[in-house]
Amino acid sequence: MKFIAIVGTNASKSYNRRLLHFMKKHFAAKAEIVIKEIKEYPLFCEDFDETPHSIMELATEIDHSDGVIFATPEYDHGIPAALKSIIEWLSYDVHPLTNRPVMIVGASLGNLGTVYAQDDLRRILDSPGLGPYVLPGHQFLLGHAPSAFDKNDNLNDDRTISWLDTCFDGFIKYVVSINSMAGRNNQADATTGASSKPRETPVIVDLRINESTVDASTSASKTDKTNDYGIDEKTFGLVKSSVDETTGASSSNAEQETSERPVIVNLRQPKMAVKADSVTGASQA
């Protein structure tokens, strides 16, 4: 499994960079983590005739990965402008984050450990043209960062490391679930560590649940709680509620049969088509 890890600042000294390098070493047996610096990329601007080659290369690397990890500091309760610029590039002409599993971590000097910045980043990633699957329920917030690392740049608190382990293991399970539901081939390439088959669009996602049987005495529906991929859909909130026509009770699609039709998900994203009118300055879509 291969992840692209983005250092969310262009500063030369960064605790978030140190955190990602620790994760790369600490989780080497579980996944390959490729760390990308954002200080080398141009500031986003629509005046470019075409997307810069460096941005296209980053988009290609993301598209051939199994997921993305953002490590963000917190500036004025938000993410740095340099990180926002990269995200703008990745939602303008290319869309490698669409339907891509994402994990967010962060380190800061204060008590709260980038909680506001992470919330800001989650909100931004929910924008049109982005649309990744952000890992829910596993927030790694590293506060008091100057004292959190030893002289070898390793985290020095066992409880902190244990929580990071929990978050990362949860992310791996999340990636497997998302990629399985999207019909992706997660067999890792022996030379690159990336999935052997990149995403194709559109993707046909078969969400059919195994055929249920009805108990003759109670008329209750019985079915397996996993879908055709063997994934428990309750794990990551993929259960859809429905109403029993006879009782009016609400039930989930993990307990009640859904239709035998696959769901077709079109992952194509249009190029951002907002340009300023040269006369009035108004946006034209």
- Write out the two tokens for 127: 């924008």
Alpha carbon 200 to chain centroid, angstroms? 17
- Residue 194 has what pLDDT? 55
Condensed to tens digits (0 to 9), the pLDDT of residues 120-140 reads: 999 999 999 999 999 998 999
Q: Residue 263's closest CA among 215, 195, 206?
A: 206
Alpha-carbon distances, residue 27 vs 72, 83, 167, 263 (angstroms)? 19, 24, 12, 35
- Break the chain down into helix, strand, coil percent, rounded to 5: 25, 20, 55
- Residue 223 has what pLDDT? 45
- Residue 184 has what pLDDT? 61
Mean per-residue pLDDT of the chain: 78
Q: How sure is the predictor about 182, in pLDDT bands with cuts at 50, 70 and 90? A: confident
Condensed to tens digits (0 to 9), the pLDDT of residues 203-261 reads: 434 434 344 444 444 444 444 444 443 444 444 544 444 445 444 554 444 444 444 44
Where does 2-181 sit in CATH, by number? 3.40.50.360
Residue 177 sits at the vertex; the CA angle it makes with 175 and 183, to the nearest 5 degrees, is: 100
- Residue 92 has what pLDDT? 94
Q: What is the residue extent of each domain of the chain?
A: 2-181
| Tokens 């559109």, residue located | 202
Report yes or no: 166 and 103 within 8 Å, Cβ to Cβ: no
CA dihedral (254, 256, 260, 265) positive or negative: negative
- Per cent of the chain over pLDDT 70 is 64
- Residue 255 has what pLDDT? 45
C-alpha 27/C-alpha 38 separation (Å) is 22
| Tokens 């990745």, residue located | 90
- Write out the two tokens for 198: 């990149």
Q: How many CB atoms lie within 10 A of CB 156?
A: 12
Phi and psi torsions of 103, nearest 5°:
-115, 140
* 115 pLDDT above the threshold of 80: yes
- Write out the two tokens for 236: 């990551």
Highest mean pLDDT among 112-116, 187-191, 269-273: 112-116
Cα separation of the two ends of the chain: 39
* 109 pLDDT above the threshold of 60: yes
Q: Residue 6's closest CA among 82, 76, 78?
A: 82
Report yes or no: 98 and 132 within 8 Å, Cβ to Cβ: yes
